[in-house]
Amino acid sequence: MRRLIVAVILVVFLGLGCVQSGNEVGTGLESKLPSENLPENLELVAVLTSETSPSSLDDVMPLIDGSRSVNPKKVDVVSAVEGVYSYGGAYDVVVYVVEMKSSMDATAGYLNFLNLTRFQGGLPNEIDRYTIWLADDKQITEVRDISPSHRIRFIYIWKEDNLLFIIMGNSNREQMRELALQILQT
């Protein structure tokens, strides 16, 4: 249902010009969103910023502000961008790049995300919820969640100085890792 709502909102706002569409990635945080040479069948269809409507902050804040976390930490966010990627016609991959006031705020946002109450329960078949993936000398946390279609969904989160990166991925692990590598190399 959320995907349908997001799809309808994107269509409306793309039509009104409130959201950047396609490969129109600008400078600043937007430049961290890959738009070319993407993994197979993945396409950047929209870029939301703090100034667009809907705002990227509206979507990312509940994930990192601690309001839905166990043992929340206070965060101070400066700005954020949200890249919406289509995979085979579905809007199922979202990338957030969040600029925090400090490195400590980025760490707090990272911890708040990992401690979301939705991640507190176990997964079927005793699958580990979290694992560490080392890529380009960077430690990235892989979070496994259950998608609405009851498949494992791969989520990646890491921080660099005062920037926090979150890929709300799909069930294609290799594709999501390839996207994460592209973001690391921007």
pLDDT digits (tens, 9 = 90+) for 29-75: 999 999 999 998 899 999 999 888 778 888 899 999 998 998 889 99
Average pLDDT (121-128) is 90
User: In this predicted model, which residue has the larger pLDDT, 159 or 136?
Assistant: 159
- Range list of H helices, 17-156: 56-64, 103-114
For residue 14, name the pLDDT band (cuts at 50, 70, 90): very low
DSSP code for 150: S
Domain residues of the chain, as ranges? 2-184
Q: Give the per-residue pLDDT at 71.
A: 86
HSE (side-chain half, CA atoms, 13 Å) at 114:
20
Cα–Cα distance for residue pair 105/17, rounded to 1 Å: 32
For residue 116, name the pLDDT band (cuts at 50, 70, 90): very high
Q: Give the per-residue pLDDT at 149.
A: 82
Q: Give the per-residue pLDDT at 24.
A: 45
Q: Give the per-residue pLDDT at 55.
A: 83
Closest CA to 60 of 164, 186, 176: 164
Q: Give the per-residue pLDDT at 27.
A: 61
Cα–Cα distance for residue pair 134/140, rounded to 1 Å: 6
Q: Give the per-residue pLDDT at 19.
A: 44
